[in-house]
Structure 1
């Protein structure tokens, strides 16, 4: 009986150690206007003494009708409709992948939520796990509360941009600007500013993409130093 008890205790200690191999940190609760895209990052650290190959699995627990969530991990981005696990990131013992590192890790996790005007609370779960030991996983639930508006729609009616077209695009994309004076800042998923367009007159505008790498970008419409609209752009 004593041997059995000792075996159970040892097994319990091993299971606890395995469960702690991956530590995930970052904000998990966000409040914003339902017309604004919410972006956030999670840091993943391997606290074990072994190299771990990590994948991410996203599950939408609760989404208001019309809302969508997507994310990027291990150098790739996944659409709102994707239900497959992500690509793999290899973490050495003690290694942490984070956008806060210098330079930011291209394998780091970033999540995005678009309510598309739908008021309500959404919950999205991200699980990070060892591909060689699925039980060794850490899950976090991100809550997006877009229950109230801030009047941004009324402001955007005075100065708005359309979606990019074509999108995905290669070489050139267009958008329609119906305001009078603003900036359009193109940033990558790491938050780096790639281009800045000065918008002075309404009409159809073009963006040269020939000097941009393949990937996901965001166009931020800035008026009076405030971001009023965010549009996603995919360069293929």
Structure 2
């Protein structure tokens, strides 16, 4: 299956995301921020980095790039989309996911291997995990604190849309220990930690991040 990986000016982790797609058995397809089409891909990854230098707000400019118009339209038709770190920020800025990512509590950049609790296995990106499972993946962000108003938080909790929570301590002050959330249909997922850096124990803390990429291949094949 072909999985698009978007590159914006300032994207850092597109090569790693493409490698994760290949490890999972998919075919990565490079998408450029100025593209207006998705080249027939079955899913899209919006990777991490510092798109457009994080000017205005992290992800604010990228959310308005031409490629994101196509992503938003395709997501409305059920296309699976994953936003990682800056990609999560972009999805929130684009309105595909609720809430916002703001400066970490303490205002420090956090870079460490982070344990995550899998809170939902009902999304296109987490079906290869089990609820309650813990995975170890890197976290590296300065604006990773998830915030939302009380009604939005209640809706995310009540609808089972919290996908990952930080385990073993909250590294950035995210409300309710939230590390990742999903859209109503479970096809769009955003998370701050980096599963694409945990696909091979030779190059990361574990291979436990690979499940997001194998999950989406199975989800698309079953659709």
**TM norm. shorter chain > 0.5:** no
Higher helix share: 2
TM-score, normalising length: structure 2:
0.29
Larger Rg: 1
TM-score, normalising length: structure 1:
0.28
